[in-house]
Structure 1
Amino acid sequence: MEDVSSLAQELKAHLPWHQARIIFLAQFILALIRARSCNLCRVAEEFQSKALEDSSYRRIKRFFSGYTYCYEQLGRLILHWLSLTTYTLCMDRTNWKFGSHHVNYLVVSIAWQGAAIPIAWVCLDKSGGNSNTAERIAIMKRVLALIPADKIDELLADREFVGRDWFKWLDEQGIICRLRIKEDTPVLGSCGKDINAKQLFRNVKLNQTETWFTKRKVSGVCLYIAARRTIKGLLIVVATKKPETMIEDYYKRWSIETLFGCLKSRGFDLESTHMTELDRMDKLMGVLALAFAWCLIAGHWKYGEAEGLPLNKHWRPAKSLFRLGLDMLRRVLKNGCSKSDQIDFQILLKVLSRT
C-alpha cells in the first residue's frame, strides 16, 4: 500500500478530488500497469487491497458508472508532467467493435519522443464513422482551454480532417496546421481552373518532394501545398499555412498511430474492456492517458531520446520508449528490479514531479 499512498500524494497535489477518489485512481493506475490490460476483472485482480477481488471489481464498476470528473484537470496534470514550452498536436480516430457495439474515439494528443500523449478525447456516438466539423471544433476548444494557440507549433491530421469550415476555423484561431488532403481534392491551378491535387503533382518521382511556395485555394481556403511520393509510389499531399518543412513535419503524425498501438495490443489491451457506454469509455481514456504519460516519461528518463534507441534490422527500435517505461514500471511493481538495475518506485515517481 506504500506505492498507492505515494502515487496518491502526487495526484492529490494537482487534482482537487476527494481523498477516497484519489486513492482509487492511484490503485487503478498501478493495477492497470501491472495487469497490462483494460479488462476490469484483470485490473481488479491486481488491486493492492485487503478487500476481496469481487469487492475491488464492484468498486471499479461504481467509479465508472457513478463518478464524474473534469477531464480538463487531467489534461493540466499531463501538461505539468511534460513541462514543455510549445506543443505539436496530432488529431485522429481509432475504432473497433465489441459484439454489435462500436467504440469510436476522437483523440487530440501531444507528439513527444516518438509517441503521442492524449490531452483531449471523446467517444463518438456513431458506428465507426468519420468525425464532423462540429465535433472537431468542440474537441479543439477543449484543447485551447489548456494550451493557448500561440503555444501550438502545429496541428497534424490525416485526410479525414478536411473541409472549408474546418480550415477557416483553424485559421481564425491562429493554429498552424499540416493536414493531408485527398489526391482528388480540387486545387485552384495557375490557369484559374480547379484541378485535382494528384494532377498537380503528377511529375513527382519516387522518394521526391515538391512544394508550391505560392498559395492555392484548397476547399475555398488559400493554403500552401506540397507532396511527396513514397518509395512504394504513394502520393502524400499536405496543405498548410506555413510551407517550410511541411512534409517532414507531417510525418510526426505517425506518433498518434504509435499511441493507439500502445493503448491496444502493444500496451494496455484497450480492446479487452467490455465497457461500451460513451461516458464510461471517456473516463477510461482519462486514466489511460495518465498511465501512458507516466510510462513514456519514465522510459525517456531511463533511456534518453527516442532517436537514440538502438535499431533492429528493419531500422526500427525493438521497443518504444513507452514500452521500455512500461516494462520497467511493471518490474518495479511486481518483482523489484535486478541488482544491475537498481531503480525503486519512489525514483520513478519523482520523475513525474521533476524532483
Structure 2
Amino acid sequence: MEDISSLAKELKAHLPWHQARILFLAQFILGLMRGRSCNLYRVAEEFQSKAQEESSYCRIKRFFEKYTYCYEQLGKLILHWLNLTSYTLCMDRTNWQFGSQHINYLVVSIAWQGASIPIVWTCLDKSGGNSNADERIAIMKRVLKLIPAKKIDGLLADREFIGHEWFDWLDKQGIVCRLRIKDNTSVMGSGGKPIKAVQLFRNIKLYQVVTWHSKRKVSGVSLYIGARRSVDGLLIVVATKKPETMVEDYYKRWSIETLFGCLKSRGFDLESTHMTNLDRMDKLMGILALAFTWCLLVGHWSYGDAKQLPLNKHGRPAKALFRLGLDILRRVLKNSCAKSDQVNFQMLLHVLSRT
C-alpha cells in the first residue's frame, strides 16, 4: 500500500483529480506492470487491496464507463517527466480486431531513446481503415496545444499520411515534416511536367542517398525530396526544411513501431483487453502512456542511452530500454525490493520527480 500512496502523491502533484481517482490511477498503473496485461480482470487480480478481486474488477469497469478525464493533463505530465527542449514526433496507426469489432488507434508520439512515447491519440471510428486529412489535422491541433511548432524538430510518418490538404496544413503551421511518399506519387519535374517520384531516382545505387536541393511540387505543395535505396527497395521521403538530413531523420520513425510492439506482445498485451468502446479505449491508452513513460525512464536511468546497450549477433539489443525498465519495476513491485540491485521503489519513483 505504501507503493500506491507514494505513486499517488507524485500523480496528485500534477493532476487535479479527486484523491480517490488518483489512488485508483496509481493502483491501475502498478497492476498493469505486475500483471503485464490489459485484460481488466488480470489487472484487478494485481490490485493491492483488501477487497475481493471481483470488487476490484467492478471498480475498474466503473472507472472506464463513467469517469471522464482531460487527456491534455496527461500530456502535460508526460512532457514534465521527459523534460526535453525539443521533440521529434511520429504519427502512425495500429489496429486489430476483437470479434467483429475493429480497434483502430491513430497516435502521435515522441521519439526518444529508440522508442516512442504516446502524447496524443484517438481511437478512430472506422474498421481498420486509413486516417483522413481531417482526422490528422485534428490530432495535430491537439499536439500544438502541448508543444509549439518551433519546438518540433520533425514530424515523421509513413506512406499513408499524404495528400494536398495535409501537406498544405503542415506547411502553413510551420511544422517541419519528414514524410514518406509512394514510388508512383506524381512530382512536378524541372520542365514543369508531372513525373513519377521513382523516375527522379532511377539511377540511385544500393545504399546511396540522393537529395534534390530545389523544391518540387508534391500534391500541389512545394517540398524537398530525397531517397535512399536499400536491399528492401527505394525509400522516398519529402520534407519542408533541412533536406540534408531528411532521409536519415526519417529512419527514427521506426520508434513508433517499437512503441506498438511494447504496448502489445512485448509489454502490456494491449490486445488482451476485451473493451471495444472508443471512449474507453482512449482512456486506457492514456494510462498506458503514463506506465510506458515510467518504464522507459527507469530503463534509461539504470542502463544509460539506448545506443550504449550491448548488441546481439543480429545487431539489436536483447531487450529495449522500455522492457529493461519494466523488468526492474516488476521485480521491485513483486519482491518489495530488489536487494541484488540495491534498488527500491522510492528510487524508481524519484526517476519521475528528478530528485
What TM-score results when the alignment is normalised by the length of structure 2?
Answer: 0.99
Work out the CA distance in 2 between the residues paired with 1:290 and 1:326. Answer: 12
Q: Identify the residue that residue 41 of structure 2 maps to in structure 1.
A: 41
Q: How far apart are 1:244 and its partner, in Å? A: 1.9
Q: How far apart are 1:190 and its partner, in Å? A: 1.4
Work out the CA distance in 1 between the residues paired with 2:192 and 2:163. Answer: 21
Contact 2:332/2:338 (<8 A) preserved: no
Q: How far apart are 1:336 and its partner, in Å? A: 4.1
Return the letter of the residue paired with 1:86.
S
- Residue pairs, 1:270-309, within 5 angstroms: 270-309=270-309
Work out the CA distance in 1 between the residues paired with 2:173 and 2:38. Answer: 37
Return the letter of the residue paired with 1:241.
T
Over the aligned positions, Cα root-mean-square deviation in angstroms equals 0.7
Aligned positions, number: 354
Work out the CA distance in 2 between the residues paired with 1:330 and 1:184. Answer: 48
Contact 2:338/2:344 (<8 A) preserved: no
Q: Identify the residue that residue 20 of structure 1 maps to in structure 2.
A: 20
Q: Identify the residue that residue 107 of structure 1 maps to in structure 2.
A: 107
Work out the CA distance in 1 between the residues paired with 2:314 and 2:119. Answer: 31
Work out the CA distance in 1 between the residues paired with 2:316 and 2:54. Answer: 42
Work out the CA distance in 2 between the residues paired with 1:281 and 1:271. Answer: 11
After superposition, the C-alpha distances for 1:120-159 in whole angstroms (9 at most, x for unaligned) are 0000000000000000000000000000111111100000
Return the letter of the residue paired with 2:85.
T
Q: How far apart are 1:340 and its partner, in Å? A: 2.8
Q: Identify the residue that residue 311 of structure 1 maps to in structure 2.
A: 311
Contact 2:35/2:42 (<8 A) preserved: yes
Work out the CA distance in 1 between the residues paired with 2:144 and 2:307. Answer: 29
Work out the CA distance in 2 between the residues paired with 1:310 and 1:87. Answer: 26
Q: How far apart are 1:241 and its partner, in Å? A: 1.4
- Residue pairs, 1:178-327, within 5 angstroms: 178-232=178-232, 234-242=233-241, 243-327=243-327
Unaligned runs of 5+ in 1: none
Q: Identify the residue that residue 92 of structure 1 maps to in structure 2.
A: 92
Work out the CA distance in 2 between the residues paired with 1:126 and 1:78. Answer: 28
Work out the CA distance in 2 between the residues paired with 1:114 and 1:195. Answer: 36
Return the letter of the residue paired with 1:286.
G
Q: Identify the residue that residue 350 of structure 2 maps to in structure 1.
A: 350
What TM-score results when the alignment is normalised by the length of structure 1?
Answer: 0.99
Work out the CA distance in 2 between the residues paired with 1:283 and 1:103. Answer: 14
Identity of aligned residues (%): 79
SS at 2:341 equivalent: coil
Contact 2:295/2:329 (<8 A) preserved: yes
Q: Identify the residue that residue 176 of structure 1 maps to in structure 2.
A: 176
Work out the CA distance in 1 between the residues paired with 2:261 and 2:338. Answer: 29
Work out the CA distance in 1 between the residues paired with 2:323 and 2:10. Answer: 23
SS at 1:245 equivalent: helix
After superposition, the C-alpha distances for 1:71-97 in whole angstroms (9 at most, x for unaligned) are 000000000000000000000000000
SS at 1:37 equivalent: coil
Return the letter of the residue paired with 1:275.
M
Q: How far apart are 1:338 and its partner, in Å? A: 4.3
